Amino acid sequence: MIYPTKATETIAVSCDEYSKKLKPIFNQKQTEFYIFGKLVVGVDVHLQIRSMRVNEFTNILDEYSIRWRHIA
pLDDT 10s digits, 28-54: 898 899 999 999 999 999 999 998 899
Distance CA 40, CA 65 (A): 21
Map out the domains of the chain with their CATH numbers.
8-71 (3.30.70)
Longest dimension (CA), the chain: 30
pLDDT 10s digits, 57-68: 999 999 999 999
Q: Give me the phi and psi of 41, to 5 degrees please.
A: -130, 105
Query: For the chain, what percent of residues have pLDDT higher than 70?
Result: 100
pTM of the model: 0.87
